[in-house]
Amino acid sequence: MKKEREVQIVRLQENLASIRKIAGWTAEELGEMLGVSKQNISNLENENTKLSKAQYIAIRHLIEYQAAKKPKNDVLLQIVSLLVDRTDLQGKDYNALKDTAKNIGAAAATMQEHALRIFAQTLLKASYTRASDLTEIDGELKRAIESKKEVDWTAEIFSDGKED
């Protein structure tokens, strides 16, 4: 159990920036909620400072508290559970999942909340298959990030490819 908790702490730190962005928080906002500076958050995300057990517990409680305030948005808890708690995901599968979550986090600023939820749910579903199934999702996210423009993801997801 102790080894599993250590893996979870490492994984939370590895995915902290993605989780924060998917939650819609800036580093400064997360720092304020935790009572630390933006620089402390940056140091944790860049792995310049090792995430302590106490910090792990504080961040997990904060995520659970914030998710409880928006009960319809349970995706954040699911993402955290998948990236942090699913210690059975290893190697290539875990790395592909982590990379896709990073791209979802990077694209989150251009997404409407509903579309972000759809992408996050797609990530969750893909995690139960093989890592290669994440390639298509990952490619779309990378293209969106590179374009650096506001995207109506909902229209793209639900369109049938035909112009009106």
Cβ atoms of residues 137 and 157 within 8 Å: no
In this prediction, residue 159 has a pLDDT band, given cuts at 50, 70 and 90, of very low
Is residue 113 included in any domain, yes or no?
A: yes
Instruction: Examine residue 64 and state whether it is found in any structural domain, yes or no.
Output: yes
* Length of the chain counted residue by residue: 164
> Does some domain include residue 159?
no
Number of domains, the chain? 1
| Model confidence pTM above 0.85 | no
Inside any domain, residue 83: yes
Local confidence band at 14 (pLDDT 50, 70, 90 cut-offs): very high
Kindly state whether residue 157 falls inside one of the protein's structural domains.
Answer: no
On whether residue 158 sits in a domain, the answer given is no
Inside any domain, residue 164: no
The pLDDT value recorded for residue 164 is 41
Amino acid at the residue 38: K
- Determine the structural domain holding residue 64 and report its residue range: 1-150
What the block records as the tokens of 114 is 């509903």
Domain presence at residue 160 = no
- pLDDT per residue as tens digits for the range 55-76: 999 999 999 898 888 766 667 8
Report residue 162's pLDDT band, with 50, 70 and 90 as the boundaries. Answer: very low
Q: Which residue has the higher pLDDT, 120 or 30?
A: 30
